[in-house]
Structure 1
Amino acid sequence: MTDFQTEKSLVRDYYAALDAPDADLNAVMNQYISADYLWRGFHPFNEQTSGADVATKFWHPLRQSLTHLQRRQDIFMAGANTLDHGGTWVVSMGHLMGLFDHAWLGIRPTGKMAFLRYCEFNRVENGKITETAMFFDIPHLMIQAGQNPFPPQTGAHNIQCGPQTHTGLMFDAQDPAEGEKTLAAVDYMVSDIKTWKGGREEPLVDELRRSWNEDMIWWGPAGIGATYTIERYAEQHSGPFRAGFKDRIFNGHICRMAEGEFGGFFGWPNLTLEPTGGFMGMPATHKPADMRVIDVYRRGGDKLTENWIFIDLLHFWNQQGLDVLGRLPTARD
């Protein structure tokens, strides 16, 4: 049994080098990233197959736009992937904060502090990072710049807090038994929700209570928003989500892991869904489309109590014919 400290140390060293103000990004990538790398990022970045490409297409432009960039982590954990894809993965979640001084992806700069909410899964093998899934909430940055691309949300999106317990930064080794409890709670929830096929005989809140504590918080992405307590989650997200789709297909996950009271997973894509109208205020399209999702959880007792969600909504709606970034007016620095 491993305590994952070697893998954690490598990723922490990578972040220290990557986040340095005078970082030589290509040199950082050469040192920490494997030659056969696979990086999965949100639209419009999608899949990249080298550290050099990630540096050139993502990190260089982002750092030029969000100057004095600073990583503010809320969760840091590691664990063995329990799925067939395998591997040891290190997860970081939080915000990248900087001064939004220059346009990025056509989003106009504000000259003020801005936060790019992110979650990153890194697979570590033989002293290198071989795979990454880095999901980030671009619409939230757009809202900060006064360019909200979506209709009013069913939930709230003010700030996205870290864990209520402030115990998410697990730089030290954790009790494996606690991780096993968390993984069991996540696995139960995933298995239970898969029984939903578009209709149900029991009230939604009763279904949710099997997996969630009453004071649960669901920290959803911009465009949907966050919601608090089982009843409000059912009213403000889960109910509208289920009502807005049909023919839900679960495609599975690439990684599912846990450490301590925290766990998470990601897929590429997780779900395929057909919009029937109403979700996020959008009309029915009757075109199946994929959702790429990261979920990170905190367990309280035997059930789940906090959930941070990253959904690539730009990719999802792009498949429906809505190019959100393409609709932006030309931004000026």
Structure 2
Amino acid sequence: MKKIQLQHAKQLVRSFYNDLDMAEVAEIPAMMARHCSPNLLWRGYHPFDEISGPEAVAQAFWQPLRGALTRMQRRLDVFMAGENYYSDPGGIWVCSMGHLMGLFDRPWLNIAPTGKLVFLRYCAFHRVEGEQITETAMYFDIPHLMMQAGLHPFPPQTASHQVQPGPQTHDGVMFDAQDSAAGEQTLDLIQRMVTDLGTWQGALPLEEELARTWHDDMLWWGPAGIGATYTIERYAKQHSGPFRAGFTERSKTQHICRIGEGNFGGFFGWPNFTAVPSGGFMGMPATGKPGEFRVIDIYRRDGDKLAENWVFIDLLHFWKQQGVDILERMRQVGSPAMSTFQVPQGDLNT
């Protein structure tokens, strides 16, 4: 019965995507109203945040984006479904991850168009109840698109800027039913990894801690501003180590949804956790202000360890909490040549 429910939810979301991607821009509000609950709760990255109702989501997000990216395509890398690990809110969720690709022909969020091909990397979780989508978390890497448009919203990354590929194994798009035991194994491994992460400053050295749940040749596909990195050693040096050293007072991890299917799994929170930048972050000085981290993580399991991780972090929201509005600074400085990200001392105290 559970497999039937999962497959039904997958098919509903696939139909929604097909209709959304094929609709004319003017048709999108009505199309979304057919597939989504009138009380749809939609969570997106800054500056969109929480939006209620399908027509409002269409008008605020989808219509401007579709108007900016001519002949937009959805390019899936992961598609999966599962029953929420958490009973509150519970339910069946469908997750997709990949890129929205198009010709950047008109401005979007005051980002000047290039007339060239661009990719907006995204990940979305949809809660399906009956014949409708009732809740969506859709996270997208706006700074990644900004960098493709020739802007420099952040200092040089500690890792590598990439247009990120899908799974090395090319098996993340799971339209067909999967072995339920495999999904349970993936969820269990993710749970063990999150438990280790929750210790923050554990008894083991960082690389030894990571080796408990990660393959040595792990791939970590991080957001623009941090970048991608490869192997436990480089991940520890190029992201995890500096990140842990840069923050204190990290709250406990809070997730709204966590699912797994086959060798893939993932989660999101709103926020996942809060922490205080006390040692500097992304080349910027410490602010001492608590900041929220809205994050989606998608994982690929290989045997008894994790092999790949795609990470979405709302850095625009985080930095605005620190007194820096990246989008507004870009608008003021202009395009395409935006100056290197610097925070005047006064901004740190606003």
1:255 to 248, 254, 257: 257
SS, match of residue 26 in structure 1: helix
CA distance in 2, matches of 1:200, 1:94: 34
Aligned to 1:114: 118
1:2 is the counterpart of 2:2: yes
1:72 is the counterpart of 2:80: no
Q: What does residue range 261-300 of structure 1 map to in structure 2 within 5 Å?
A: 261-300=263-302
Judged with a 3 Å threshold, the aligned counterparts in structure 2 of structure 1 residues 192 and 201 are, in CA distance, closer, same or farther, namely closer
2:58 to 55, 59, 75: 55
1:241 is the counterpart of 2:243: yes
Q: What does residue range 60-209 of structure 1 map to in structure 2 within 5 Å?
A: 60-84=63-87, 85-196=89-200, 199-209=201-211
Per-residue deviation, residues 17-60 of structure 1 (Å, max 9, x unmatched): 00015261122111100011100000000000110111000001
**One-letter amino acid of the structure 1 residue matched with residue 83 of structure 2:** A
1:33 to 23, 36, 42: 36
- What percentage of residue pairs aligned between the two structures are identical? 62
SS, match of residue 283 in structure 1: coil
CA distance in 1, matches of 2:331, 2:272: 32
Cα contact 1:21–1:68 (8 A) shared by 2? no
**What TM-score does the superposition give when structure 1 sets the normalisation length?**
0.97
Extract unaligned runs of 5+ from structure 1.
none
SS, match of residue 306 in structure 2: strand
Query: 1:251 Cα deviation (Å)?
Result: 4.1
CA distance in 2, matches of 1:234, 1:328: 31
Query: 1:332 Cα deviation (Å)?
Result: 8.2
Q: What does residue range 200-219 of structure 1 map to in structure 2 within 5 Å?
A: 200-219=202-221
Q: Which runs of 4+ in 1 moved over 6 A?
A: 330-333
Aligned to 1:43: 46
2:232 to 216, 230, 233: 230
**One-letter amino acid of the structure 1 residue matched with residue 244 of structure 2:** R
**One-letter amino acid of the structure 2 residue matched with residue 119 of structure 1:** C
Per-residue deviation, residues 195-216 of structure 1 (Å, max 9, x unmatched): 22xx444211000000101110
SS, match of residue 296 in structure 2: strand
**What TM-score does the superposition give when structure 2 sets the normalisation length?**
0.92
**One-letter amino acid of the structure 1 residue matched with residue 68 of structure 2:** S
Cα contact 1:261–1:299 (8 A) shared by 2? yes
CA distance in 2, matches of 1:326, 1:87: 38
Per-residue deviation, residues 269-304 of structure 1 (Å, max 9, x unmatched): 001010013310011100001000000000000111
Query: 1:218 Cα deviation (Å)?
Result: 0.5
Per-residue deviation, residues 131-160 of structure 1 (Å, max 9, x unmatched): 000000000000000112000001101221
1:328 is the counterpart of 2:333: no
CA distance in 1, matches of 2:286, 2:322: 10
**Matched residue pairs, number?**
331
